[in-house]
């Protein structure tokens, strides 16, 4: 494949052009998962009728799409970062 036919990507942080095969970028894969810990259930919780709570939750989510609901518990994202942006990001990914 000639250079002109290669796919060009952009850095998700600064917009710099990234060319596959030139070694000028990183692929970062992010997996976010909601807290998988089961909820704490008290003895009092076990004595309550949960029908009202189930109805409340169903009403709350009835207008949401499957994708919106899924993204509340699981999200996978792939980003491309140029070398300078990667070096900054890896030192402070939340900043």
pLDDT digits (tens, 9 = 90+) for 19-47: 999 999 999 999 999 999 998 999 988 88
Nearest to 85 by CA among 9, 8, 7, 15: 15
DSSP 86: H
Confidence of residue 1 (pLDDT cuts 50, 70, 90): very low
Is this prediction's pTM over 0.85?
no
Cα atoms found within 13 Å of the Cα of residue 13, Cβ hemisphere only = 18
pLDDT digits (tens, 9 = 90+) for 50-94: 898 899 999 999 999 999 998 889 999 999 999 999 999 999 999
Whether residue 2 is predicted with pLDDT greater than 80 in this model: the reply is: no
74 Rama class: left (phi>0) / alpha (psi -120 to 50) / beta: beta
The tokens describing 27, both together, are 């692929």
Q: Give residue for tokens 């089961």.
A: 38
């Amino acid at each position: 494949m000639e250079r002109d036919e290669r796919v060009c990507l952009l850095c998700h942080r600064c917009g710099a052009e990234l060319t596959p095969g030139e070694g000028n970028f990183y692929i970062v894969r992010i997996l976010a998962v909601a807290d998988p810990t089961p909820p704490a259930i008290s003895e009092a919780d076990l004595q309550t009728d949960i029908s009202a709570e189930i109805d409340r939750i169903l009403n709350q989510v009835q207008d949401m799409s499957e994708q919106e609901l899924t993204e509340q518990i699981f999200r996978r994202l792939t980003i491309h970062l140029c070398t300078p942006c990667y070096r900054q990001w890896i030192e402070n990914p939340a900043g």
